[in-house]
Amino acid sequence: MKRFVQIGAFVLALCLALPAFAMELNDAKKQLDTAKQQGLVGETPTGYLDVVRSEGNASSIVEAINQARRDEYARIAEKHNIPVTQVETVAGQKALEKTPAGQYILVNGQWKKK
């Protein structure tokens, strides 16, 4: 019975935590979109974001999103038994291609407005 109560408490805690986690991710996505539109953050060919202009919370947004990307790239690499660098390269190329006009991308070491 004690084990049942522990499992129930864990499931309850998980159910309460997941919506909060989803809200945090949604908030981070909104902050990222805003930072990109303001020209504070840009995409790089390495598959990660970087700070274009250091204002506001641009660096904390970059750190949070890049950590999530690192985790996802590692998961994909492990699933397909390929090097993480290969996943990063493909993701970087796709990110550069998908970046809308007016936002920044890193080309040959220089920030360019697409």
What pLDDT is stored for residue 19 in this prediction?
47
What pLDDT is stored for residue 27 in this prediction?
79
Burial of 38 (0-12, 13-18, 19+ CB in 10 A): middle
What pLDDT is stored for residue 9 in this prediction?
40
pTM over 0.85: no
What pLDDT is stored for residue 28 in this prediction?
76
Beta bridge partner(s), residue 101? none
| CB of 103 closer than 8 Å to CB of 52 | no
Residue whose pair of structure tokens reads 């699933």 in the numeric block: 79
Count of helix runs (H) and strand runs (E) in the chain: 3, 4
The first and second tokens of residue 80, run together, are 């397909």
Give tens-digit pLDDT for 62-111: 999 999 999 999 999 999 999 999 999 999 999 999 999 999 999 999 99
Beta bridge partner(s), residue 111? 106
Give tens-digit pLDDT for 25-45: 567 788 999 999 999 999 999
